[in-house]
Every structure is written in C-alpha cells, then in structure tokens.
A and B are shown apart, each in its own frame.
Chain A
C-alpha cells in the first residue's frame, strides 16, 4: 500500500501539492489579518473574543481544504479516467480496489493533516499578534484551547470525509470542473456564515456528511473489479 501511495505521489508531483498548501496557508493568514486589523481596529464588527476568532480561522481553513481536496481528487482520480490512463492502471497486476484506496487515502490524509496544521499555525500566528496589539480582549484559557483542539480534529475528519462527496458526483461526469464546482457548493452550504452561525459549527453536520461521503465512495467503488473500463 505504501508503495502504491509513493508511486502516486511520484506521478502527480508531490512538491506541487506542498506549494499549493503553503500558498493556501499564507492566503488564509493574510485574510484573517485583514479582518483583524480592519474589523477589530476600526471598531467595526471584528472578532468578539478568542473563541470567535479561532472558529473563524477554522471555517476558512475548512472551506479552503475541502475545495483543495476536490482539486486533488480530480487530479488523482477523475483525470485518470478522463485521460484514459486508467486503462494502464487497471491492467497492472494490482487489485483495483487497492489502487483506488491508495489515491483516496492520499486525499483523505492530506486534507486531515492540512486542516489540523493550518489551524495550528494560523491560530499561533493570531494569538501571537493579538498578544502584541490586543484588539481581541478576553483570556485564553487552557480549557478553551483543549476544546478547540478536539473540535478542530473532529472538523478535520469531517472535511476529509465530506470532500469525498464531490468525487462521487464528479466521477459520474468524468469532469474535474464539475468535481471542484460540487465542492464549492458543499462549502457554500456548510461553511457560509449567517451572523455567527454556520452549519459546520454544529459538529454533527460535518461528521454525518463525512460518514455519508465515505459510505457512498465505498459503494461506488465496491464493484470496481467488475466494471468495464472504456
């Protein structure tokens, strides 16, 4: 399995994924800073407290990496079907389910790790900067941090699972654009805020969507050994 994952990374250019992620971190960080300095500084609606700020960061991170995952899924799976390189892949002496599983695990773990890491880095950045400028008042308790850490881990799992939903729909059309569009749609429903509320903040929503994503992905690849590749 590790061998297959390694080959996938070799094929897809692992470094380009890495740069993409770093760029995404930077953009989210900039965005948060803009909100912080314009909103909180000018007394307009900014972050009310630490919890508010950390949740906002998490929402941006989720939105970004759910869409990022759909780009990876397009590259790793949809394009193999579209470019017909799947003909090669499925004529190798390797079980088809293993090949697909290798691809899915890359996307799943990539999304999970990135959501956790992006939250961690940007939270640290935010807290450090707020220590200097102090626009957001309130104290940062250990309880809050622990709660938030657990929350982020669950959200990361949610995002990784949810991102699979776009694959199943994109695969029907064999279209990368459709896959990405679906993920944007999911993000719009789950992550868009109405006041201080968004669906993702009810942890049961992303978690059940994740389970749904994993389930229908399993169902759509369950018979992959028996299908014609044309």
Chain B
C-alpha cells in the first residue's frame, strides 16, 4: 500500500451547485502533494471531506488503504490538519491549546508539544493567550498543532498565508524535513504556484471543482525544456547545417517548416550566423521559454475551456 489518499469520483454538491466534481486523486506515501487552484476551486471542501467535516454526495475516499465510512473516526488519529484560518481556544495559551489537542487526539506528550513549537520557530509566547497572537503567529501555531501528535498525513490548507518571506522559507524547509525525516505525506493547498512549486513532488491542479491534472514535478520540468524554434522553407538544409557544421544532435523537426533545437549550449547568435552562412533561408528564429506559471495557467485555462465546450 503506497497510497495515503485515494479518491474515486469524489463529488460534493450543495443543492444544484457542484463544488467538487468526480475527483480522482492519489497522494502517495512520503510525498508532498501540492494542491493548486484558484480561490473557490474546491480545495478546502475536498480537504474537509478527507477529514469527514463535509460529507461527500458522491464517490468514495480511501485513507491509508481503508475506505472511509460515515462513522469512521479511527483514521483521524493519524492525520494532522490546518484548514482555512486556524482556530484556537482564544483564552488559552499556545501550549495549553496544544496540550488540549493532544488529549483529544489520544496522544499526550509534553515533549512533542515543545518540539512542535520549536520546529515552527514560535518563540516569546510564554503565557500569552492566543487571542493576542498575530496572523503569522497563529499560522505557525496551527502548523505546530498539526504536527504535535506526530501524524502520518498532514493536510494543510494555504499554510503560508500571512507569513513573511522568512517565515515562508522556514515552513518550506520544515515541510521537506517532515517528509524526509519523519516520512510524512503532505497535502498542501495553495492558490499560488510559487508557494508550492519548490517543495511539491506532485502537483494536482483543481479548477471549478474538477481535478484537471495530476503531474509529478519531474515530468513538468522535463516537459518545460526551453528550445529555439527555427522556421525555414528548407528543413533538410537546416538540419544538415545543425548536425554537420554545429554538431547539434538534440533537435526535432516538428512540422515541414519548423525545427526545434533543444541543445542550448549554442547561442542563438551562433545558430543564426551558421544557418545564414550555410544559405539556409530563415523566416524566423526564436527562443521559447516556458515558465511554470504559464504551464499551469494554460492548464487551468485549458480546463475551463474544456468545461465551456460541454
């Protein structure tokens, strides 16, 4: 069993409005899954369904290899979570909140409470009640609470909201550490790619309640290779020049008028110079750079176009 989360055709409707629609999601053990989508795409609802706070109207959920039933609660011992804005018992201190959490979770260990507060670098809190905390501190405390019971799966909804750049960096490092040292699986949602692209192993893109795509970051990076595209009326000659004169092997003919060169060690200047010297008629020569943002933006846009065509 390597899947921690598996949903099949998971759906949720409120009246006639479907906010999560036939989602098949797979999160593997020990990976960081970035859950990307604009606000209102259904991320929080889906995460709440995993916690049993919202009941699905269709499909099924499997957690740790076991199907979730309406009364299941046992799996909740193995999950840490931070959904939407973190809520606390405001008049209690940070430590009291965490201790109370441990008692309810059936995992009471003062050492873990201290450790969690240290990991999120929440200091100078002494005996302050939580109501005096800033947004950033509350966010850190929320994450500390989520990890204080040593869960196997962490569900974090927009976890770096309200954190300063330094805080975001601390969290990123923490997420990696949790994965690498504790073997945790993390599902982290965000509406900003920049927040998760650096830590995620897999990215799932959701829009309008539909999981548009699930891709590993490795594949994304591979498919985003930059290239130079040459448009010419004499493909054969261009190929000859590239191969024989420039020694370029990594190129591909993509139509009868265009060639893409993936070997970017040769500058665009040298390329055009050699092609002109070799009498290749050049119509255009352009370098293409695809950013991650564009990649996912296209995906989301593509997804909604797809929607509209129904």
Cβ < 8 Å to A, chain B residues 159-215? none
B52 contact from A83, A88, A91, Cβ within 8 A: A91
A85 contacts partner chain B, Cβ-Cβ < 8 Å: yes
Q: Which residues of B contact A226 (CB under 8 A)?
A: 55, 70
The SS class assigned to the B binding surface is loop
B111: shortest Cβ distance to chain A, in Å?
A: 20
With A87-B87, A226-B70: A92-B53 Cβ-Cβ less than 8 Å: no
Beta-carbon contacts of B73-95 to A below 8 Å, as 1s and 0s? 11111010101100111111000
Decide: A95 and B54 in contact? CB cutoff 8 A.
no
What is the minimal beta-carbon distance from B68 to any residue of chain A, in angstroms? 13
Contacts of B71 in A (CB 8 A): 95, 225
In this complex, the member of B48, B74, B89, B104 whose beta carbon has the largest number of chain A beta carbons within 10 angstroms is B104
Is the pair A92, B70 in contact by a Cβ cutoff of 8 Å? no
Whether the pair B106, A93 counts as a contact (CB closer than 8 A) is yes
Residues of B within 8 A of A222 (CB): none
Q: Is A172 part of the contact surface with B, judged by Cβ < 8 Å?
A: no
Which of A7-15, A127-135, A179-187, A209-217 is the contact stretch?
A: A7-15
Are B103 and A93 neighbours in the complex by a CB distance under 8 Å? no
How far apart are the CA atoms of A99 and B92 in the complex, in Å?
20
List chain A residues, Cβ under 8 A from B70: 225-226
Q: Are A7 and B103 in contact (CB under 8 A)?
A: yes
B224: Cβ under 8 A from any A Cβ: no
Residues of A in contact, count (CB < 8 Å): 23
The reply to whether A83 and B87 contact each other, CB–CB distance below 8 Å, is: yes
Among A13, A83, A94, contact of B104 (Cβ-Cβ < 8 Å): A94
With A227-B55, A228-B55, A230-B54 known to touch, is A89 a contact of B104 (CB < 8 Å)?
yes
A11 closest partner in B (C-beta): B89
Does B105 interact with chain A (Cβ within 8 Å)?
A: yes
Interface flag for A110 (CB, 8 Å): no
CB distance from B136 to the nearest CB of A (A): 19
Q: Which residues of chain B have C-beta atoms less than 8 A from A229's C-beta?
A: 48, 53-54
CA distance A96 to B18 in the complex (A): 26
Report the Cα distance A93→B91, complex, angstroms: 24
Q: Which residues of B come within 8 Å of A, CB atoms?
A: 48, 51-55, 70-71, 73-77, 79, 81, 83-84, 87-92, 100-101, 103-106
Beyond the given A85-B89, A92-B73, could you list 6 further A-B residue pairs with CB under 8 A, ordered by the A residue number? A11-B89, A91-B52, A91-B53, A93-B74, A95-B71, A226-B70
Q: Which 8 A-B pairs have the closest CB atoms?
A: A93-B76, A92-B104, A229-B53, A93-B77, A93-B73, A228-B54, A91-B51, A84-B87
